[in-house]
Amino acid sequence: QVQLVESGGGLVQAGGSLRLSCAASGRTFSSYAMGWFRQAPGKEREFVAAVSNSGGITDYADSVKGRFTISRDNAKNTVYLQMNSLKPEDTAAYYCNAQTSYGTIYWGKGTLVTVSS
């Protein structure tokens, strides 16, 4: 199994920035596609961003394009989400996920981001 641990969440003022990290276990991190999802109170979990195993292909939700950047460091078994120009509507629990080459999905426990207005 793959263990995922998110960090970097917290309270930030609107317009500010945060950088989330997700550390993964195992020696096969470089084979996983990685992603970030979020869930706000009373809302469904939604896709935020994803990055291919090599880091060469990225995808973003329309709501975060131009503000968020996903990246990975395979040598450190870590994926990042740089969040700039944060808005109150970005407030949510952010979850890291991994997809193995066989299609198995793993989830972290989440880290809370709160953006004050």
- Judged against a pLDDT cut of 90, whether residue 1 lies above it is answered with no
Q: Looking at residue 44, what is its pLDDT?
A: 97
User: How many of the other CB atoms lie within 10 Å of CB of 63?
Assistant: 14
Q: Looking at residue 26, what is its pLDDT?
A: 72
Taking only the tens place, the pLDDT of each residue in 49-96 is: 999 998 999 999 999 999 999 999 999 999 999 999 999 999 999 999
Q: Looking at residue 27, what is its pLDDT?
A: 76
Taking only the tens place, the pLDDT of each residue in 6-54 is: 999 999 999 999 999 999 997 789 999 999 999 999 999 999 999 999 8
Report CA-CA distances (Å) from 115 to 14, 51, 89, 93, 97: 6, 25, 8, 11, 22
Residue 49 exposed, middle or buried by CB count within 10 Å (0-12, 13-18, 19+): buried
* CA-CA-CA-CA torsion sign (13, 14, 18, 24): positive
